[in-house]
Amino acid sequence: MAGEIANQRDESGSNVVVIVEQSALELLPDPGVNVAVLEAKDWAGPDTMTVHPAVVDKNLCAHCLACIKLCPSLSWDMEKAHVVVNEVSCKGCGICGSVCPAGAISQRHFSSGMVLEAIARLWESGGNGRQIDSCNNCPVEPLVLGRMKTPSIHDPSVRVICSGRVEPLHVLETAKIGARGLLMVDCFTDVPEKDRFERGKKRMDAGEKLLRTLGSPVIRVEAVNLNARNVSELPLVLQKFTRRSTSTGGGST
């Protein structure tokens, strides 16, 4: 199954999956082509800033407080005896969900299952281009949107809510559908955001290492930062990345 898809993609010449931070996806116009599939409607109009705050499943929470180490919006409620989310300050970046060993934290309207589903069905759409919905939570997004002039790309992309949400599992799933490369596009501008980028990158590397051990065709894994300043480089970055992934046959050495 995965092999068939891979072959089809080889003929058309583009077989790269892009994991895009949500706000960066707004840069990718022409969603009509090969964009990830998931039945979802826009929860809000394109001009609205929607935040999908984190939700903690009380029954699953292991009280390990791994999330609290990473994010000031989460705290331990002594009275209720579970982790609570400050919905006012929560940006909905999802980094808490990515560290939760129990899988107790998810984003409202945006579960990690949806991301996996989107990756699994990336090439099933046949270019119908339904998108996985996510929030418009990134503070730099209004800036980026103002400069949105990029040519279309023909590579499937999945948006995750924030690069902090990227998991090694995403790399495995991408390899499963026969992709040759996985590019993470972030749009950070400040230091805390950069931490998330580094974290996402580290987790992608862990995924790549797992693939190497597994002996599956290794895919090229890269991460770039494109914010309001250098957003115009996106087509070039994608082009180069596609070339690198296909010419080297993935990142295998």
Partner 1 sequence: MKSEIESLLKETRAFMCLDCGKCTGACPLARQGGTYSPRMHIARMVYGYGSEVFADMDMWSCLTCGLCETNCPSNVKYTDFMSKVRVFSAGERRGGFCAHAGITHTLARMMANDGENQSRLGWVNDELKTAESGDVLYFVGCLPYFDNIFDYIKIEGTGIAKNSVELLNKLGVTPVVMKNEVCCGHDLLWSGDRDNFQKLVKKNVEAIAKTGARTIVTSCAECLRTLKVDYPQFAKFNFEVKHISEFVAEKLDGSSMKMSQFDGSITYQDPCRLGRHLKVYEPPREVLKKIPGVKLVEMRSNKDNSICCGTTHFLNCDRVSEGIRKERFSEALDTGAKTLVTACPKCQIHLKCSQSNRMQDEGVESLHITDFATMVNKHLVRN
Binding site for partner 1 (CB under 8 A): 59-66, 68-69, 82, 101-104, 112, 167-169, 172-173, 176, 206, 209-210, 212-216
Least distance in angstroms from the C-beta of 63 to partner 1? 5
Closest CB to partner 1 among residues 230, 252: 252
* Residue carrying the six token digits 């579960």: 111
Least distance in angstroms from the C-beta of 92 to partner 1? 18
Least distance in angstroms from the C-beta of 193 to partner 1? 21
| Residue 183: strand pairing partners | 18, 222
Closest CB to partner 1 among residues 5, 169: 169
The contacts of residue 209 (CB under 8 Å, 6+ apart) are none
Closest CB to partner 1 among residues 39, 47: 39
The Cα–Cα gap between 82 and 203 comes to: 27
Closest CB to partner 1 among residues 199, 220: 199
Least distance in angstroms from the C-beta of 200 to partner 1? 14
Least distance in angstroms from the C-beta of 137 to partner 1? 21
Q: What is the DSSP letter of 138?
A: -
Least distance in angstroms from the C-beta of 119 to partner 1? 12
Tokens of 64: 């390990």
Amino acid at 46: P
Torsion angle, alpha carbons of 150, 156, 159, 160, to 10:
-140
Closest CB to partner 1 among residues 63, 240: 63
The Cα–Cα gap between 16 and 212 comes to: 18
Q: For every residue of 68-124, which 3-state class applies, written as one string?
A: HHHCCCEEEECCCCEEEECCCCCCCCCHHHHHCCCCCEEECCECHHHHHHHHHCCCC
Closest CB to partner 1 among residues 111, 189: 111
Largest pairwise CA distance in the chain:
60
The Cα–Cα gap between 145 and 113 comes to: 28
